[in-house]
Chain A
Amino acid sequence: MATRDVVGDVTIAAVETPPNEEELGLGLSPSKAALKRARTHRGLKIGFGILLVMAVFAIFAPWLAPYDPYLQNLPMRMLPPVWMEGGSWEYLLGTDHLGRDYLSRLIHGARISMFIGIGAASIGAIIGVTLGLIAGYYGGWIDQGVNFLVTCQLAVPSLLLIMALVFVIGQSVTVVIFVIGATHWVFYLLVVRSATLRLRELDFVAAAQAMGCSKFKIAVREVLPNLSNQIMVIFTLEVAVAILSEATLSFLGLGIPSPLPSWGLMIAEGKAAMFFQPWLVILPGLALFVLVIAINLLGDGVRDVTVTHRRN
C-alpha cells in the first residue's frame, strides 16, 4: 500500500494511547484478554469457587453425604447442630423432625435445588429473551401479540396456573422445572423488549442492514450481545425466585415429591418449628443465600471481564 502522506494523522495514533494499556489488555485477542482479566478478578474467582464446591457436592452427593438422606431415626429427631447445646458430632448439622441427618439432606438437596434454580431460570430466559427480542425488534402487530401474552400471563395467578399444569401433567422434578420456567419469563421479556426498542434505533443496526445482514442476524448477532448484562442480572434474581417457588409448590404438595430433599422443601418443612429450632430454616436458607450470592458474583464478574470500559 502507498504510504500516506498525512503526518498529522499518523502521529495521532502514537499519541492516543489509553493510559493503562496493560490493564485494558490492548492488543490481546478478546478471549485472551478476558481470561487475563478473569484471573485477576476477585469477585469472579470467589463466585466461581463457591459454585464449583456446590456443584461438586451436588454431583458426588451419595459419596460425600455421611448418611442416607431418607433414613429416619425418630429417637434422634430435632437434634441441634454440633455447636449448639445438645448437639452431637454424629449429626454435624443436627436432624429434622423425622430424625433424618440434616447435613446429608442439605448435600442431596443442593442437587435438586441447583438443578431447579438454574434450569427454571434458563427456561424462563429462553422464552422471555426470545419473545422480547422478537417483540422489540420487529415491533408492529408482533409486538402487540407478545404484549397481549404478557398481559395474560400477569392476569392469571401463576400459582393457579402451575397447580393446573402439575395436576394435568403429573408430578416430577422435570415438570416442576418446566412449569416454574414457563411462568417466570415476564421480567426477561419486559427488560429485553425495552432495551431492544432502544438499541434497534442505533446506527450500528442501520450499518448492519447496509452491509446486508438479515433481520435475524442483526437481532442475534448485533442486538443480543448488548443485552447480556441485563439478562445476567435477571437470571441471578430468577434463580433465587425459582428455588423459592419450588418451596411454595412443595409446601402445597405440588413440587418435589416429599421424601426427596430440596432446600425449598426443607425451609417449608422447617417453618413449623421455626421458633424453637430456628436452624431448620436458617441452614437451608443460608445455603440458598450463598448459592445466589455466588451466582451474582459470577454474573458480575463475567460482565466485568467480557466488556472493557475506558475507566478514565
Chain B
Amino acid sequence: MSPLPIGEIDMSTAPILDIQGLSVEIPTDAGTLKAVRGISLSLNRGETLGIVGESGSGKSMTALALMNLLTPSARRTADCINFDGKDLTHVSEKELASKVRGQRISMIFQEPMTSLNPVYSIGRQLTETMTLHRPVSRAEAEKRAIYLLEKVGLPDPASRLKQYPHELSGGQRQRIMIAMALMNEPELLIADEPTTALDVTIQAQILYLLQDLQKELGMSMILITHDLGVVSRSADKIAVMYAGDIVETGTAVEVLTNPQHPYTRGLMECVPGYRGDEAHRLGSIPGIVPSMTGTITGCAFASRCPRAVDACKTDIPPTKQLGPGRTYVCHDPESTRDQSAREQQSHVNRAPFDPGKAKGESVLTVDNATYTFLVRRGMFGKRKPLKALGNVSLDIRKGEVLALVGESGCGKTTLSRIIMGLKQPDSGSVRLGEHEISTLPAGQRARMIQPIFQDPYSSLNPRKTIGDIIGRPLVVNRIGSSKEQLAKVHNIMEHVGLPRRVFNSYPDQLSGGQRQRAAIGRALIMDPEIVICDEPTSALDVSVQSQILNLLLDLRDELDLTYLFVTHDLSVVQHMADRVAVMYLGEIVECGDRRQVLSHPKHPYTRALLDSALSISPELKVPAPRLAGDFPNPINRPSGCSFHPRCPIAEQQCKEQVPQAEIIDTTFVKCWKAETSQHQVKHQ
C-alpha cells in the first residue's frame, strides 16, 4: 500500500499479491455489466484477506479474474496483477494453466456437492492435480494425498482414495476439496464462500482447519464470504466490496471495531446479535444493490445511504487514508456525521419488543410423534427404515416464537411438515387446540397454520402473478367475494411492504427480499394463528435478512401471531426466539427458555452449536471444534444416546442406554450427563 523506495524491497516483506486497477466487464443483452470497477488490493505472505460483500458485489468475480477463469465473453483489464513479482496479465493462458493455477494459486469453491467429478475416484482427482504438471510418480502423489487427507481430518485416509464423491458427506467433500487445493503446496489459497453450504458445526471445523493449515504451511489466503462473523474470526485484513468497488479496507480489528463507511456500518447493524444479547430492532439497509450496467454517477451507495447528501449523488467519492492499508471511499459529509449513530438509536427506541411477552396456553401440542421413511435401493431392493422422528413432544404457546434448531438432516423439516398436517406421524398425535390435526378438514387447518419456506425462489409458482399467489388461499377456500379478496390482497401487500405495482408481476421480476415478502403475505392472508417459518432468511443476504426478521416481529405484534421458527442460525434464534428446542437426529435433546438454553446450555450438543456460531469478534480466532466427526447417517443410528459418537463427554453408559428426558431448572434435557455438564460450564 504505502510505496516503498525500490531498493528497500525485501522479498519476505514484499506483498505476494498486488492488484492495481482491476476491472471486469461482461457484455449482456441489457448492456455492459461492470462487475468489478477498478479495484486495488494487496496481500502479504502468510496473511488472510477477507473480501466481504453481499451477493452481486463482485467478490467472486475478483477471484475468478485473478485466476483468469472468467466466462470467455468477459473482459478483464488491470494495470497489474503482480503475483510474487510476476505480472499475471502478461502471462500466457498456457503458462497460467500449467504453472500457476492449481500449482501456486489454488481455489476452493462454495458448493462441495458439485465441485468434485462424480465419475472419478477421490484418489484419481487428488493425484491428478499433482501428476498433471509435475514430474512426480503416481505413488508419490498418492502418498501426498494420504498425508493431506489425514491433515484435513478424514479418518482412514488410505481407503478414501478408492471412494467416489457420492459416498461422502458435504463436510467430507469440502475437506477433500481443501486437500486437493493443497496438493501442490500453493502459496496463495482462494476460498470462495468455503463454508456457506455447510452446517454450523462443520463450518467451524472447516474454518479451524483452514486456519491451522495456513499457519503450518505459511500460505496466504483470500477468504471470500458474506458472513461477517466468519471473516472477523479468520481474516487479518478485510476489504469490503459494494457494487464492484472496494469501499473500505483495513485490518479486521480496525474495520470491524471502527467501521468508517456507512455500508460497512449498515452491514454490521444488520447482523443479529452484533449489538449484544438483548433483543432490539435490527438495523437495515434500504433498497438493493444498484444495477451494475451503465455508469454510476457519484457514490454507488448514495441511494441507500442514511448519510447521503447531494454531493454523494453527483461526485465520485474520494479515497480517504487513515493509516497504512486503512482506507475508505466516502464523501463522509460533515453535516451527517452523527446521522447513522442517531438513526440506529432511534431504531432501537422506535419499536422495542418484549420477548417474554408470550406466556399463554399452548395452541399446538405434539405428543410423542414418530415418523419413519422407508428407503428403498433400486426397484427390487429391500426397504430400509429411516427414523426421521423419534418420540418428539413439543408444545407451542400462544404468541411466542419457538425456535427449532438443528443441523440439516436432523428432522426439522419433517417435524414442521407434520405440524402443518402435510404428513401423518406413524404414532403419536399433533393437536391444534382441541382438535387432532389429521381429523381437521384441509381448509380449516389452513386457516390456523400457514408456512413460510426457506427459498423464496421455489416457494412461489413462477407461472402466477404475485397478486394471484397471495390471494390464492382465499380462492381455494372460497373466502369472500372476488372484490373482498382483492381488497384483502392489497391490504396484506401493504402490511408486508410490497408496492402495489408488483401486483401483476411474476416472481422472476422481484428481488429475493420482495419474494419472501410475498410468501409472508400469502401465509398471512387467512389470518392464521400459527406461522411455521422454515429457515425464512437463510437464502437471503444479511441486509435483506434483517428487513425480513424485523417484518416478522412487527407482524407478530400487529396480528398476534405465534411462530415456529425453524433455523440453524443461533444468532437469529437469539434475536427472535422466546423458547428454543434443539434437535439432533430426530429427537429433541434440549428445550427451554431462550436465555436459559443459550446462556446455560445443558446438552453437550447445544453447547457445541453455540461454540460453532461465530459472532463478530475480530480479536478472537475460530475456536477449536468441540465436536468430532460428521452428522451420522440416520439409517445407521448409533446405539444408546444417538449423539455419543460425537460427544466430548460420552461415557460407557451413553453408548448402551438411551437417555431419559428430564427437567433441570425448567429446561427439558435428554442426556445422561446433563447435570455434570452443567457443572462443567459453571466451572469454566
Contact = CB atoms under 8 A, between A and B. Distances in A.
Interaction A to B: yes
Contacts of A7: 286
B156 interface: no
A213 B522 CA distance: 14
B125 to A, nearest CB: 28
Given A5-B350, A9-B284, A26 B491 contact: no
Interface stretch (B142-150, B445-453, B652-660): B445-453
B175 to A, nearest CB: 29
A275 to B, nearest CB: 47
Interface in A199-224: 202-204, 206-214, 217, 222
A5 B351 contact: yes
Contact of A8 (B286, B303, B451): B286
Nearest to B474: A211
A312 B30 contact: yes
Interface residues of A, number: 48
B451 A212 contact: no
Contacts of B476: 208, 211-213, 217
B621 interface: no
Contact of A203 (B453, B463, B465): B453
Interface stretch (B68-76, B82-90, B502-510): B502-510
Nearest to A19: B291
B624 interface: no
A2 B502 CA distance: 21
B286 A11 contact: yes
A211 B450 contact: yes
B560 interface: no
Nearest to B495: A1
Contact of B303 (A15, A202, A225): A15
B494 A16 contact: no
B554 A4 contact: yes
A23 B242 CA distance: 28
A20 to B, nearest CB: 8
Nearest to A225: B463
Nearest to B446: A212
A39 interface: no
A155 interface: no
A12 interface: yes
Interface in A261-312: 307-312
A152 interface: no
Contacts of A211: 446, 450, 472-473, 476-477, 522, 526
Nearest to A312: B30
A29 interface: yes
Contacts of B422: 206, 209-210
A16 B511 contact: yes
B684 interface: no
B547 A9 contact: yes
A16 B33 CA distance: 18
Nearest to B502: A26
B477 A15 contact: no
A253 interface: no
A98 to B, nearest CB: 52
Contact of B522 (A8, A207, A212, A217): A207
A56 interface: no
B501 interface: yes
A26 B503 CA distance: 8
Nearest to B509: A310
B608 interface: no
A204 B502 CA distance: 19
B499 A212 contact: no
A14 interface: yes
Nearest to A223: B461
A226 B477 contact: no
A16 B511 CA distance: 8
A6 interface: yes
A33 interface: yes
Contacts, number: 145
Contact of A207 (B28, B459, B491, B547): B459
Contacts of A2: 558
B171 interface: no
Contact of A307 (B454, B498, B506): B506
Given A2-B558, A204-B458, A212-B446, A12 B513 contact: yes
Contacts of A30: 465, 504
B445 A207 contact: no
Interface in B477-501: 477, 491, 494-495, 497-499, 501
Contacts of A310: 508-509
A9 B285 CA distance: 9
Nearest to B551: A9
Contacts of A210: 420-422, 446, 449-451
A26 B501 contact: yes
B383 interface: no
Given A24-B509, A211-B446, A212-B443, A19 B465 contact: no
Interface in A167-194: none
Contacts of B509: 18, 24, 26, 308-310
A165 interface: no
B460 A204 contact: yes
B118 to A, nearest CB: 19
A15 B472 contact: no
Contact of A212 (B462, B477, B502): B477
B45 interface: no
B307 to A, nearest CB: 14
A13 B499 contact: yes
A206 B453 contact: yes
B342 to A, nearest CB: 13
B384 interface: no
Interface string B420-461: 111000000000000000000111011001110111001111
A5 B557 CA distance: 13
B184 interface: no
A27 interface: yes
A260 to B, nearest CB: 41
B288 to A, nearest CB: 6
A309 B461 CA distance: 13
B497 A15 contact: no
Nearest to A32: B504
Contacts of B29: 311
Given A16-B287, A210-B446, A312 B463 contact: no
A207 B30 contact: no
Contacts of B368: none
A192 to B, nearest CB: 15
A28 interface: yes
B304 interface: yes
Contacts of B104: none
B429 to A, nearest CB: 19
B201 interface: no
A263 to B, nearest CB: 35
B417 interface: yes
B379 to A, nearest CB: 8
Contacts of A5: 350-351
A209 B28 CA distance: 39
Given A204-B458, A212-B443, 17 more contacts: A4-B497, A5-B350, A8-B285, A9-B284, A9-B547, A12-B286, A12-B497, A12-B514, A13-B497, A13-B499, A16-B514, A26-B502, A30-B504, A203-B453, A207-B451, A210-B451, A309-B506
Interface of B: 28-30, 284-288, 291, 293, 303-304, 350-351, 417, 420-422, 441-443, 445-446, 449-451, 453-455, 458-465, 472-473, 476-477, 491, 494-495, 497-499, 501-506, 508-511, 513-514, 519, 522, 526, 547, 550-551, 554, 558
28 contacts: A4-B497, A8-B285, A8-B286, A9-B286, A15-B287, A16-B288, A16-B514, A24-B509, A26-B504, A26-B509, A203-B454, A203-B458, A204-B459, A204-B461, A206-B453, A207-B451, A207-B522, A208-B472, A208-B476, A210-B450, A211-B477, A222-B461, A307-B506, A308-B505, A309-B506, A309-B508, A310-B508, A312-B293
6 A-B pairs with the lowest CB-CB distances in the bound complex, closest first: A15-B287, A203-B459, A212-B442, A13-B499, A212-B446, A203-B453
